[in-house]
Structure 1
């Protein structure tokens, strides 16, 4: 996230999701917005006091390039796939907090299991949200599925939200705490 917010004008009508409830909305061309976060594969915009999440695929609507997803080499084994899965999860961000979901401590489990009769793997994730009922959960699930299924040798992703133990600041990494000034 840059130290200053950048103001831009929306160049075309575009679908966004309101933060934190995830309600879909449309921003019409000509709307003045502030980019508050440009991390991972999405942008967080401030529009008349309301935060909104813009998918990276629609970056052209605010005059930005579509975020590039790095292409990873095919992992040799389950451990290599596990490493790539964790790296990929670190590219997923809470739209309100400029820290990835791994550093926030939202991911409790990431297992990589072989699929029967195949050289491919299933990634099984248990994670939580910063607050139960967070409307952004579905968008995070979609982003996680999309990114993990793009990895070589990952053919299935299972994601389960768990709320026991509940998330609190103690689950954050030291780096996350420092970056947020906590």
Structure 2
């Protein structure tokens, strides 16, 4: 998985509104990379029918556009690998009571 560390850190500003945890600590971001003309993100959501799909993806685009100044922000939403609670950081697990 290729990552641009500062962009991944920036994505911690995007929260899943239902869970109150950022998408990076939830383990939803699989890849983020900055290229010459665009920023590419491969991510998932906790469930395929997530009603906040547009809100979360829109926030990802907004944060990355603000950080990089680029208009071309490509967010690819994937369902494989499927998200599971094991993908969460220890911090997220603690916040949500998974310990």
TM-score category (smaller protein):
0.7 to 0.9
Match of 1:127 among 40, 43, 52: 43
TM-score normalised per structure 2 = 0.88
* Higher RCO by CA contacts (8 Å cutoff, separation 6 or greater): 2
Match of 1:143 among 42, 52, 59: 59
Displaced runs of 4 or more, over 2 A: 152-155
Q: Number of matched residues?
A: 96
TM-score normalised per structure 1 = 0.50
Question: 2:13 corresponds to which residue?
Answer: 91
Task: Specify which structure has the higher proportion of helix.
Answer: 2
Calculate the aligned-residue CA RMSD, in Å.
Answer: 1.5
Q: Which has the larger radius of gyration?
A: 1
Task: Specify which structure has the higher proportion of strand.
Answer: 1
Cα distance in 2 between the residues matched to 1:134 and 1:181: 21
Structure 2 residue runs of 5 or longer lacking an equivalent are none
- Superposed, 1:1-182 pairs within 5 Å as 82-115=4-37, 122-182=38-98
Structure 1 residue runs of 5 or longer lacking an equivalent are 1-78, 116-121
Provide, for residues 47-83 of structure 1, a one-character-per-residue CA deviation record: whole Å limited to 9, x for no partner. Answer: xxxxxxxxxxxxxxxxxxxxxxxxxxxxxxxx8xx33
Cα distance in 2 between the residues matched to 1:160 and 1:147: 16
